[in-house]
Amino acid sequence: MEYKVIEIMNSTEIIINYGLSDGASPGDKLRIIDRGESVIDSDTMEDLGTIDIIKATVEVAIPYEKFSICRKYRISNVDLLNPLSKFVFESKVPQELNVNSTQITNREIPEGSPISKGDLAMLLD
């Protein structure tokens, strides 16, 4: 199901037209996107979907009947036994795959523009 950004309250909170009547609960995650280019299976010519521009992943903070206030959170792992724990964060670094270099397409993942009213919001499972 697709929803949309209906208001930008401030730099940390947006309102999405996904509410309790849609099944919204605190902690639900939504991805704010712009539709991207189609990906076509070259063998079957089937359209497999689009490479969407992901602007942000937000979480329902406060659900109301027909909308929710959503926020983006940064999650970090903190070592509570370490006195310098506030400086310890988890990070992920992509690793190279063993791929056939003659089949590399060099398709770029598009970068997103700022979140705007009317942007699509997709509920994540």
Full set of structural domains in the chain with CATH: 1-75+113-125 (2.40.10.410)
- In this prediction, residues 22-43 reach a mean pLDDT of 93
CB burial string 12-41: b at 16+ within 10 A, e below: eebbbebbeebebeeebebebbbeeeeeee
CB within 8 Å of 86: residues ≥ 6 apart: 78
Neighbours of 71 (CB within 10 A): 14
Taken as a whole, the chain contains a residue count of 125
pTM score:
0.72
Q: Name the band, by pLDDT with cuts 50, 70 and 90, for residue 61.
A: very high
Q: Which of 117, 124, 125, 114 is nearest to 17 (CA)?
A: 117
pLDDT value, residue 92: 65
